[in-house]
Amino acid sequence: MAHARRYFEKALDNDQKRAEYALKVIQSLYAIEREAKELTREERQQLRKDQATPILDVWKEWLLSEQGKVAPKSSIGKAIAYTLNLWNRLVGYTKDGDYLIDNNRIENTIRPLALGRKNYLFAGSHNAAQRAAMMYSFFATCKLNDIEPYQWLKYVLDNIQEWKMTDLHKLLPNNWIPEINS
């Protein structure tokens, strides 16, 4: 949804009235999400069904009706086309209380990885670049799971020889339990 919002923000100069309408719709959806943040999964899903789905239904009808009225190559035309092309993915969050309205959190999490790609060009070899990318992934997974990367890596390197090959997956950051493994 954040990407769709950016397209409409870019369209403000091209067609302020339509872009502002779309941005107000998106703003109302995010307001529902702020309210849903404190709810259980089931309550969140019900809130979205009751409040977000009707807004999305009206918005889709508006998008379809406006699509034929704007130039497809204009910024508002691109915003409408982008939104309609991704519609099923954009509204998918209403079907499951665990889904988020946008993927900003994960994008912010992997940003260091994306920035690091340029550095991989100077890693010395293809294999070295793959190893560096793997370590970035491990550390990003540690961050997502609130695990201290140094503590995790030290434990793994000190103890990996004692683990069976079939149990190595338990050493991955998303499976690792510091209290038990320290």
Q: Coil, strand or helix: which one is 161?
A: helix
pLDDT of residue 30: 96
pLDDT of residue 106: 74
Please state, for a pLDDT cut of 70, what percent of the chain lies above it: 92
pTM of the model: 0.66
CA end-to-end span of the chain, whole Å? 41
Task: Tell me which residue of 93, 1, 106 sits closest to 47, measured CA to CA.
Answer: 93
Would you give the DSSP letter of residue 68? Answer: T
Helices (H), 121-182: 126-144, 149-159, 178-181
Q: What pLDDT digit, counting tens, does each position of 126-171 carry?
A: 888 888 878 888 888 898 888 999 999 999 999 999 999 999 999 9
Q: What pLDDT digit, counting tens, does each position of 62-81 carry?
A: 999 999 999 999 999 999 99
